[in-house]
Amino acid sequence: MNKILFFFCNLIAVIGVSILFTTSILNKVMPMLGFAAYQAAAAGGYSPSDYVMNFIVINLFAILLIIIGVVAGYKIYKKGL
């Protein structure tokens, strides 16, 4: 049973890392897509800051998932020894 719990704790940490990775990619890619849309439409003004999204709450949740996963996994690992 401890192996299953250890696996899921590590899975939670990996999900947190993947959320951080995804949000950072979105913040890098969206200004480029906005610039391409601006060039295609040729209307209005372009500012890269208009396309940067606010992921503070999502990133905090991801960091919390990583911390919980690592701490719980460590406790389960130590308990199994």
Q: Could you state, in order of their start, the residue ranges of all structural domains in the chain?
A: 2-80
pLDDT-based confidence at 34, cuts 50/70/90?
confident
Q: Phi, psi at residue 46, to the nearest 5°?
A: -110, 135
- Sequence-ordered alpha helix ranges (H) in 42-55: none
Give the model's pLDDT for residue 7: 94
What average pLDDT is seen over the chain? 91
DSSP assignment letter at 53: -
pTM for this model (two decimals):
0.83
Q: Select from 73, 71, 28 the least CA-distant residue to 51.
A: 28
* C-alpha–C-alpha distance, residues 25 and 46, integer Å: 20
